[in-house]
Amino acid sequence: MPRRLGLPSVYLAAAVATAATTAVPLAMTPASGFALAPVASEPGRPYIVTARNRVAARELVGEVRWRVRRFYTAALPGFATFLTAGELAELRSDPRVRAVEPDRQIHPMTAAAPGRRPAMRTGGAGTTVYVVDSGVDVARPEFGDRAWHAFDATGGTGRDCSGHGTQVARTIAGRYSGVAPKARIASVRVLGCAGPGTLADVLAGLDWIRRHARGPAVASLSFDGADSPALSTAVRALAGSGLFTVVAADTSTCRVTPGGAAYSANAPHLAGAAARYLELHPAVHPSVLASWLKCTTTRGAIRQNPSGASSLHMHSGGQ
């Protein structure tokens, strides 16, 4: 894979290695710490298990009882597995477990267009936006040499076969219409060609980002799933590691968390605006950036504290 703007070509190799480590192969044995239970007579259903800490997660994954599909080591302490009704009850009563939730479909969301663009005179140069979506058509001329396939949780090549992720990337950093036309785009594919993806794959993508992302950077998540405890844990982990994270919301209002994450119907636009801000303040922590972004319920506005060096204004469509 060619180098892009000084970014090492090991991204592709890292993606392959990550896919191999997050998806637990059938050949692994109990001695390796990743064990699969014998085939149960009762059919199991897919679940996501969030442990109380990494030690507890590793202990649980190492037990032969669970048919582990993915083991998350960075974005959250937990794993994806198949459970029977009895195993589900057993895990929910285990003191090492914080939460167990069904694995489910995650659907892409269409972003609302803001009424105006950020007023900042920057383009996001020197920043990277991790587009967690259906992939990105990195060969589009408007991306130049700024976009690359970073990771594919679905086991593919990162190709965007639905177009959603490419549209999100164009909104964020397209040369002609993007909010931050100089930002780099790292494609993290977690959604399938039919549109939806799985929560397990989404978490694998965020796990990869947590281990490999370098700042200044932003993560853009234009899909549903805000009610998932595991996804919320992973988003907090990204913000805690220094990555401002923007998650799609299905309302016209915006919510910013003190830890450095935002939930907005204008998610791609806000991700681009954050990249533009980070060009001027590359060392700022997400929690500080979040404190400068204010959401109002009356107009759905996202406004930077005017005491900063520049002014950022974004409004929901029609306002």
Q: Is residue 165 part of a domain?
A: yes
- Looking at residue 306, its pLDDT comes to 30
Q: What ranges make up the beta strands (E) of the chain?
A: 45-51, 67-72, 78-83, 97-102, 105-106, 128-133, 147-152, 184-189, 197-198, 217-221, 244-248, 254-256, 261-264, 293-295, 302-304, 313-314
- Looking at residue 28, its pLDDT comes to 33
CATH of the domain at 135: 3.40.50.200
Cβ 117 vs Cβ 148: under 8 Å: no
In order of 77, 94, 147, 203, the CA distances from 179 in angstroms are 34, 47, 15, 27
Domain boundary among 53, 68, 103: 103
CATH of the domain at 52: 3.30.70.80
Q: Is residue 117 part of a domain?
A: no
Q: 136 and 43 share a domain?
A: no
How many domains does the structure of the chain reveal?
2
Q: 271 and 195 share a domain?
A: yes
- Sheet architecture: strand order including 293-295: 293-295, 302-304, 313-314
Q: Is residue 174 part of a domain?
A: yes
Residue 291 a catalytic site member: no
Task: Name the pTM for this structure.
Answer: 0.80
Q: What ranges make up the beta strands (E) of 84-228?
A: 97-102, 105-106, 128-133, 147-152, 184-189, 197-198, 217-221
Q: 240 and 298 share a domain?
A: yes
Q: Is residue 8 part of a domain?
A: no
Residue 65: domain span: 33-103
Q: 71 and 152 share a domain?
A: no
Q: 153 and 42 share a domain?
A: no
The C-alpha atoms of residue 61 and residue 51 are separated, in whole angstroms, by 10
User: 3-class DSSP state for residue 47?
Assistant: strand
- Looking at residue 182, its pLDDT comes to 96
Q: Which of 137, 152, 160, 164 is catalytic?
A: 164
Q: 40 and 168 share a domain?
A: no
In order of 92, 129, 149, 153, 172, the CA distances from 2 in angstroms are 47, 19, 11, 21, 23
Residue 310 a catalytic site member: yes
Q: 215 and 74 share a domain?
A: no
Q: 191 and 280 share a domain?
A: yes
pLDDT, averaged per 10 consecutive residues of the chain (319 residues), comes to 39 41 40 42 88 96 89 96 95 96 94 58 91 96 96 94 95 92 97 94 97 93 90 93 90 77 88 92 86 45 33 32
Q: Which of 185, 189, 199 is nearest to 148 (CA)?
A: 185
Cβ 75 vs Cβ 233: under 8 Å: yes
Q: 136 and 250 share a domain?
A: yes
Q: Is residue 138 part of a domain?
A: yes
Q: 77 and 180 share a domain?
A: no
Q: 145 and 279 share a domain?
A: yes
Q: Is residue 235 part of a domain?
A: yes
Residue 269 a catalytic site member: no
Q: Which of 162, 252, 291, 310 is catalytic?
A: 310
Q: Which of 260, 235, 265, 236 is nearest to 248 (CA)?
A: 265
Q: 64 and 184 share a domain?
A: no
Q: Is residue 20 part of a domain?
A: no
Q: Is residue 108 part of a domain?
A: no
